[in-house]
Amino acid sequence: MELPQLEHVRLRRCDSAEQKKLTQTPLLKIWVPWMGCNLNRRRGSSVPQFCNSPTMIVMVGLPARGKTYISKKLTRYLNWIGVPTKMFNVGQYRREAVKIYKNFEFFKPDNEEAMRIRKACAAAALKDVAAYFSKEQGQVAVFDATNTTRERRTVILSYAKERGYKVFFVESICDDPEIIAENIKQVKFGSPDYVDRNVDEAMEDFVQRIDCYRASYMPIDDEKDRKLSYIKIFDVGSRYLVNRVQDHIQSRIVYYLMNIHVTPRSIYLSRHGESELNLSGRIGGDSGLSPRGQKYANALAAFIHGQNIRELKVWTSHMKRTIQTAEALGVQYEQWKALNEIDAGVCEELTYEEIQQNLPQEFALRDQDKYRYRYPKGESYEDLVHRLEPVIMELERQENVLVICHQAVFRCLLAYFLDKPADELPYLRCPLHTVLKLTPIAYGCKVESFFLNIEAVNTHRERPVNVDVNRNPEDALQTVPDHI
Amino acid sequence: MLDNDEFMLETSPRELTQNPLRKIWMPCKNGHIAQRRVCMTNCPTLIVTVGLPARGKTYISKKLTRYLNWIGVPTREFNVGQYRRECLKIYKSFEFFRPDNEEGLKIRRQCALAALNDVRQYLSVEGGQVAVFDATNTTRERRGTIIKFAEQNGFKVFFVESVCEDPDVIAQNIVQVKLDSPDYTHCNTEEVIEDFMKRIKCYESSYQPLDEVLDRDLSYIKIMDVGCRYLVNRVLDHIQSRIVYYLMNIHITPRSIYLCRHGESDLNIKGRIGGDSGLSARGKEFAKSLRKFIQDQNIKDLKVWTSQMKRTIQTAECLGVPYEQWKSLNEIDAGVCEEMMYEEIQEHYPLEFALRDQDKYRYRYPKGESYEDLVQRLEPVIMELERQENILVVCHQAVMRCLLAYFLDKTADELPYLKCPLHTVLKLTPMAYGCKVESVYLGVDSVNTQRDRPENVNVQRTTGDALQTVPAHL
């Protein structure tokens, strides 16, 4: 049961004379009761708040079972959907404490000195988790370590219980030697632990490292641990056991973990070809491609053909310019309304000059906080992310996909794949007529950029120096790109 | 598959035209809309329930069917017990289900096959996408028959097994749904429970649950102890993933969902749609009445949700409790028609006005939304409503219609015309296989905002015909 937020409970008499007026916050366009200057304790928020108590996600599993892969990916996803999340990798703490890794003997169960260090590292990590929750307003902490003994997990559970944190375990179980060898190759060879070792030495040492844990490994037990909340992932997602999901965020985490896979594939992101409105420097609308935009569509078709991609899926928005672009490919495509460009509300089809002329305050507010700023009767980047979440979920399920979309949408998707924070997201460079090929690799994503050699206007407007609402028009329009 | 044969470099691209009703861009050549190549990669799915009697299989089947249909996936359930009732006419006692009752076994097998035949008809001929095969399916042999059937017809199979040994839960099930079963119309409560328990026993000895090893190549979810625990094996595709997510979010803890619209707004009074106006004087009265109503209901741990529009927030503010604002609960976006009266829409956009009456569910306002879009937008809200317990949702007419259609299993044609008057609270309480609805009018006058489908929906109709059903306003 979630505790009510006590600071918000106010039982007031509700006479019409006393009914509080509502005011709309100028940046987020959220209606809140007028509280004079006390707007920061408002009750509304632009996206529903689902976390009351902080949550610790605790990884469990032998080395090379994908714990860090899952931790990083989950952290990236949660941050993208707006849940402040941070990863705490105990191995990192150990590297800072020990400085030089000699060999697997450090991990031998009878190595008392090492045991002491490792325990201290886990404790230090837990302390940092507490600091993250209490001082940095974190909501989820991912505690990435083997946590293979019941004893260690008990320590974590007590720590969490004392402080009112919820705990959700994620255990990865895999005995397929090929998968484990692949893991070691992908991420261990590049580890700081093996920087001076060749591939065979690293492999041999790591295998013995895994053996050190094996004897004392106590997987989460169906009977003994039936009161705990956890998901057990078997054989890289073939099978899952889910126990006692407590709340919304745990339910979302389970859904996400059940949709991700490790099959190699590439995601191609592109904007529509240059549009008529692009040429005249107008935002939004639903115009068709310009002649150069049409050329790009043809070039894209040739490029895709040249890439020789297995079973490529193609997605577009519901807007004419992305569909026209896809049409040139001559293959099936799926239209997603969720991929439509950000709704600029009253500013639809205006130039930046017109926005400055008619709505100078709005224009300034947008520069002050481009991520959270919502156009009047329109959307914000924050709204866009919320709208795109099912697209991301389906992209995770898919294999080879080409997404033809729009500038703001592209930025949101790119920020997800490249783990860009909210303040960078609205300024990511996504020029027209350029395809990005994203290939998941190790813990991240390889990016290859292909400019298909067809000229186009620049639609990227940088944050100007002066974002004050009283600035003069030149300062406001300082960074507007050229157009007709 | 992108290979040399299929790839065509279009030198002259196909023209795009926007479908006037749905506002979807489609290719057309010489003025003819090209037949969109239907994506046939989604083969139909057969969901097969597994479990002893009184384990919630029919409850899950019906709920899942309702959810899938609401999100736009044509789904139908096939309850083998129904086929048995039609075949047998009169149910005498549990003896029919005894494993040594050869006559009974023959009939039951025939019924299963008849149901499978209807499944084939629905999925292969009638364009259904998901069929839910609701029966005990407790033996490996029976499941083998179904798997073979599915293979022959190109259906994917996904099993949903419900396992429960808690005697309280089972007793509660029997009381909730078996007492009212057609099998037991002439029995009192004790008789029903006694017979049904013996019926369950008939299945127990031959019950072979899905096995982690033997069935490792099957796709399934095992639900244990009413959702405490799940085992999920080999989810194959998007629809199975959605089904698993849904099943993992539903619960059976008793609770009530209160739905109401914002109080009457200033634009309501003027007969204008959309916008973001505040409450009228009567709307504020309603907010106060709502507060009293909610207090009198004495609801445990009530959550309150609103949209991000002024009128719902003003309504909730009066309750004096914390509330959550959801942008997804915002009213349908009427695009260029925002803040217009129906008379003005008829004057400026008579074609649009007629198209809307022709297919109100799929019709999308220019630069706006359709009810179909709304449902998609509201799906995460429904998912979270399933997770929650007692909750009050203060929303808008079109939104409330969509939510109501989900809870009351209304079709897409009925949905846009569901009656959701102002100043009326609907209390929905899940019960047996459905939902009890109590409608409470809080006694504060308001305008009527319900516009029924007029008789004449032809684009050439007269203004009089078009405005025939517009409710009165200032």
For A302, residues 6+ apart whose C-beta sits below 8 A from its C-beta are B9
Tokens of B59: 């409850």
> Across the interface, do A31 and B309 touch by the CB < 8 Å criterion?
yes
Residues of B in contact with A241 (CB under 8 A): 229-232
Residue pair B104/B20 in contact (Cβ under 8 Å)? The answer is no
Asked if A376 has any chain B CB less than 8 Å from its own CB, the reply is no
- The partner residue sitting opposite A48, judged by closest CB among B1, B313, B326, is B326
> Across the interface, do A337 and B324 touch by the CB < 8 Å criterion?
no
Nearest CA to CA, how far is A377 from chain B (Å)?
Answer: 9
Residue A32, pLDDT score: 87
Chain A, 276 to 315: residues with Cβ < 8 Å from chain B are 286, 288, 294, 297-298, 301-302, 304-305, 308-312
Catalytic residues of A: 144, 174, 272, 341
Residues of A in contact with B216 (CB under 8 A): 239
By CA distance, what is A288's nearest residue in B? B16
> Across the interface, do B233 and A239 touch by the CB < 8 Å criterion?
yes
Query: Does the structure show a pLDDT above 50 at B3?
Result: no
pTM given for the model: 0.92
> Across the interface, do B245 and A255 touch by the CB < 8 Å criterion?
yes
> Across the interface, do B25 and A46 touch by the CB < 8 Å criterion?
no
Residue B2, pLDDT score: 35
Asked if A400 has any chain B CB less than 8 Å from its own CB, the reply is no
Residues of A in contact with B248 (CB under 8 A): 242, 245, 251, 254-255
> Across the interface, do B284 and A16 touch by the CB < 8 Å criterion?
yes
Residues of B in contact with A297 (CB under 8 A): 13
Catalytic residues of B: 262, 331
> Across the interface, do B2 and A304 touch by the CB < 8 Å criterion?
yes
Nearest CA to CA, how far is B365 from chain A (Å)?
Answer: 14
The span from the CA of B165 to the CA of B248, in Å, is 19
If you compute the radius of gyration of chain B from its CA atoms, what whole number of angstroms results? 26
Residues placed in the known binding site of A:
271-278, 321
pLDDT in tens, B66-75: 999 999 999 9
How many angstroms from the chain centroid is the CA of residue A20?
A: 38
Going by C-alpha positions, the residue among A391, A414, A399 that lies closest to residue A316 is: A391
Q: Which amino acid is at B1?
A: M
Asked if A258 has any chain B CB less than 8 Å from its own CB, the reply is yes
- With pLDDT > 70 as the criterion, what percentage of chain B qualifies? 95
> Across the interface, do A14 and B287 touch by the CB < 8 Å criterion?
yes
> Across the interface, do B325 and A46 touch by the CB < 8 Å criterion?
yes
- The partner residue sitting opposite B291, judged by closest CB among A14, A22, A320, is A14
Residue pair A349/A283 in contact (Cβ under 8 Å)? The answer is yes
Asked if A349 has any chain B CB less than 8 Å from its own CB, the reply is no
Residue pair B452/B469 in contact (Cβ under 8 Å)? The answer is yes
Tokens of A77: 């996803």
The span from the CA of A59 to the CA of A75, in Å, is 12
* Residue B46 φ/ψ, nearest 5 degrees: -110, 115
| Mutation site, A327, A349, A400, interface B, largest B CB count within 10 A | A327
Residue B13, pLDDT score: 65
Instruction: Tally A–B CB contacts below 8 A.
Output: 164
Instruction: Give the pLDDT means over successive 10-residue stretches in chain A (484 positions).
Output: 33 44 88 63 47 91 96 97 97 92 92 94 97 96 97 97 97 94 87 89 92 95 96 96 96 97 96 97 97 97 96 96 96 95 98 97 97 96 97 97 98 98 97 97 94 97 96 96 90
> B257-261 and B424-431 as β-strands: parallel, antiparallel, unpaired?
antiparallel
Residues placed in the known binding site of A for substrate:
271-278, 321
Going by C-alpha positions, the residue among B361, B399, B362, B406 that lies closest to residue B382 is: B406
Nearest CA to CA, how far is B224 from chain A (Å)?
Answer: 9
Q: Which amino acid is at B467?
A: L
Nearest CA to CA, how far is B302 from chain A (Å)?
Answer: 10
Chain A, 154 to 193: residues with Cβ < 8 Å from chain B are none
> Across the interface, do A394 and B238 touch by the CB < 8 Å criterion?
yes
The span from the CA of A139 to the CA of A49, in Å, is 11
Nearest CA to CA, how far is A9 from chain B (Å)?
Answer: 6
Residue A42, pLDDT score: 41
By CA distance, what is B1's nearest residue in A? A311
Query: Helix crossing, B371-387 with B57-70: angle to 10°?
Result: 150
Residues of B in contact with A385 (CB under 8 A): none
3-state secondary structure of B437: strand
Query: B405 falls in which pLDDT band (50, 70, 90)?
Result: very high
Q: Which amino acid is at A27?
A: L
- With pLDDT > 90 as the criterion, what percentage of chain B qualifies? 84
- The partner residue sitting opposite B25, judged by closest CB among A48, A49, A318, is A318
Tokens of B109: 């097998």
Asked if A30 has any chain B CB less than 8 Å from its own CB, the reply is yes
pLDDT in tens, B182-239: 899 888 999 999 999 999 999 999 999 999 999 999 999 999 988 999 999 999 999 9
Residues of A in contact with B255 (CB under 8 A): none
| The residue count for chain B | 474
Nearest CA to CA, how far is B184 from chain A (Å)?
Answer: 36
The span from the CA of A234 to the CA of A256, in Å, is 15
Residue B109, pLDDT score: 94
> Across the interface, do A327 and B10 touch by the CB < 8 Å criterion?
yes
Please name the residue that has the structure tokens 């260090």: A117
> Across the interface, do B327 and A297 touch by the CB < 8 Å criterion?
no
| Mutation site, A16, A25, A27, A31, interface B, largest B CB count within 10 A | A31
> Across the interface, do B241 and A259 touch by the CB < 8 Å criterion?
yes
Buried/exposed B410-433: b ≥16 CB within 10 Å, e otherwise: bebeebbebebbbbbbbbbebebe
> Across the interface, do B229 and A244 touch by the CB < 8 Å criterion?
yes
Residues of B in contact with A47 (CB under 8 A): 327
Average pLDDT of span B258-283? 97
Going by C-alpha positions, the residue among A329, A481, A344 that lies closest to residue A406 is: A344
Q: What angle do CA B396, B398, B404 make, to 5 degrees?
A: 90
| Mutation site, B12, B25, B367, B372, interface A, largest A CB count within 10 A | B25
Residue pair B72/B415 in contact (Cβ under 8 Å)? The answer is no
- The partner residue sitting opposite A22, judged by closest CB among B25, B37, B310, is B310
Q: Hey, which residues does B170 pair with through a beta bridge?
A: none
For B267, residues 6+ apart whose C-beta sits below 8 A from its C-beta are B273, B274, B275, B277, B339
3-state secondary structure of B259: strand
By CA distance, what is B312's nearest residue in A? A31
Asked if A17 has any chain B CB less than 8 Å from its own CB, the reply is no
> Across the interface, do A12 and B320 touch by the CB < 8 Å criterion?
yes
Asked if A478 has any chain B CB less than 8 Å from its own CB, the reply is no
Please name the residue that has the structure tokens 């129906």: B342
The span from the CA of B460 to the CA of B474, in Å, is 28
Residue pair B470/B271 in contact (Cβ under 8 Å)? The answer is yes
Average pLDDT of span B367-374? 97
pLDDT in tens, B313-349: 999 999 999 999 999 999 999 999 999 999 999 999 9
Q: Which amino acid is at B411?
A: T
Asked if A235 has any chain B CB less than 8 Å from its own CB, the reply is no
Query: Helix crossing, B310-317 with B281-297: angle to 10°?
Result: 50
Average pLDDT of span B366-378? 97
Going by C-alpha positions, the residue among B449, B300, B312, B273 that lies closest to residue B393 is: B312
By CB neighbour count within 10 A (0-12 exposed, 13-18 middle, 19+ buried), where does A289 fall?
A: buried
Asked if A331 has any chain B CB less than 8 Å from its own CB, the reply is yes
